[in-house]
A and B are shown apart, each in its own frame.
Chain A
């Protein structure tokens, strides 16, 4: 049986990959030292470290060595593997560190075992709340921690709880908002699937804080595994006396149930979510009255996001002060981001608030996939804005992102390089919001549609400069007059790209040119004579016979016939067709 595993990967992209060579040398040496039966060596496709030469990861010790040379094999095997000593000069020093609170158990424990969660300190927070803290002190502790809602708006959690607690009502409700509809974000899914009990514990504590006796998990139907895990975890919690009557011997009773979403982005909004749980169309209602006062079936209701709830048990166990030490002045704790798009190492990243966007994208995620420079980073999904490369050194917190014209949002972070068009991106997001608009209020329903018409015009090269001004006016009206968050923020991608990339809009309008070669109507295909080997493959593949010529004279694309399908680029083996 293997006692240790060594992962190997050459992370220097500028030279020929040395992984295989090193792997063979290492195996040879292990055989020579008679250790090959105990130590497994694995070549991996991605090791999570970039541009650090040959990287070794030794498990289960979690030792990471970088810039390793063949000559280091002897000392690594002899001292680290044989005697357990760490070699200081080889150890990888990460530039930026992740800080895991929400994801503390994900990937470490078996999510289907309540025993493993309890063994990691689970439900100790609930015990402390029921045993010593009581409602008043609990809310006080959450206030000290400074935690704000992780769903997007960043409303202080303790205030939400306190409002609902102060309202006199025979019945109160808690809801866990797990309707993660934001395209490009999946942190809630990971927590629900990887550590369901932490969310359940958070929800039980929230229920106790406001005096609710009934609660719901509102989960997207698109996440069947998350539903299954929460279902199993709820059953286990009932079996252990953590739910139901007289929880942990106290007088506190709580029942939790699952309700499924059905694919409506707007249901992430509090009042729409309530309508949906009531079995109706998910249309929002004007606020106030806020759900804390008049929510589900007219009763006081607290709705918290998955990530917020997963933080709660850790705050209660470690104390509010501990949590308040992490982060910036106004934004405490950590935030999980789902970093995707044109990035080398896409995935979930949990950092302390105040880390810069550059640290997240470059140091933790390894920069762009193509090696091309970053153009912009988009945060907050369809409600957020685009932040240009020049501002990536901004520390992440609620206020800073808002100042830049974006929002924290639920935590989607999309990296874009110069191949992405800043007219096309807002068109994509706005298209999403127009499709998802519930249609109840005019600013969102009509404003979004009209704005999309302008964007389409511009991307087809039919735009005028006045259109930009019109779009700004529409955006203002939508922000001020829409009923709910969806409409109020739907214009953010447009407004932020207009703010930082107006020249790119102008380029589309005045020169009928798309710098990123994304907007199909503005792109022209040409055959580069010097690269063309005159094989004629493009001619036979062109669906509209737009390419003419012969082997002697070479080939030409007739722009008036070309339908810009891109077939010729796909089939050309010599990269002789340019798209500009």
Chain B
């Protein structure tokens, strides 16, 4: 009876993975893909469905950098801080983004438009320094180009 209250999508998801061992991380991936983060209510439901304590689920979510507990902004800015980008001035680009948007890494702007994430290597070191906004990669970014790049997204609103 209790299952009726549960999110139907989640039930389907859990059914798909139920028989497989070590499924927790894969289920969390799918939840985050769908919602952009892992909402607490879903973690609670998941804990009942999989019969895994909530603490275990949170232990996993907080261990891995990839999982988020708060909804990200509309556009995710991923600034690469890999070695190649670092050597070619990623720190300067990060400062510039922080100055323009007034947020620190891991934060969302007040209007909810941008979320700033600092990541370790996007795997395109030849283009260093690199920022990625949503799925678009901007390579060889210069400090004076940052405002231009961001304004494109602001204008769209």
Contact = CB atoms under 8 A, between A and B. Distances in A.
Interface in A225-245: none
B25 A276 contact: yes
Interface in A378-426: 378, 381, 412, 414, 416, 420
Contact of B121 (A183, A282, A347): A183
Contact of A281 (B23, B60, B125, B143): B60
B126 A340 contact: yes
Given A280-B22, A420-B87, 17 more contacts: A181-B121, A184-B82, A184-B83, A184-B84, A186-B121, A186-B123, A222-B66, A223-B123, A259-B22, A260-B25, A263-B66, A277-B22, A281-B63, A297-B21, A340-B128, A416-B87, A428-B86
Contacts of B65: 262-264
A217 to B, nearest CB: 13
A412 B123 CA distance: 11
A116 interface: no
The residue in B25, B60, B143 that gathers the most chain A C-beta atoms within 10 A of its C-beta is B25
Interface of A: 180-186, 189, 221-223, 259-265, 276-282, 297, 338, 340-342, 346-347, 378, 381, 412, 414, 416, 420, 428-429, 432, 438, 566, 570
A263 B120 CA distance: 9
6 contacts: A182-B121, A183-B84, A183-B121, A222-B119, A261-B64, A438-B63
A346 B87 contact: no
A412 B25 CA distance: 28
B94 interface: no
B81 interface: yes
A340 B125 contact: yes
A223 B126 CA distance: 16
B6 interface: no
B70 interface: no
Contact of B60 (A261, A279, A438): A279
A372 to B, nearest CB: 13
B64 A340 contact: no
A264 B22 contact: no
Nearest to B29: A260
Given A181-B121, A221-B29, A279-B25, A262 B64 contact: yes
A282 B126 contact: no
Contact of B125 (A181, A262, A346): A346
B115 to A, nearest CB: 15
Contacts of A347: 126
Contact of A280 (B29, B60, B125, B128): B60
B84 A346 contact: yes
Interface in B74-90: 81-84, 86-88
Interface string B39-71: 000000000000000000001100111110000
B147 interface: no
Contacts of A262: 25, 28-29, 64-67
Contacts of B60: 279-281
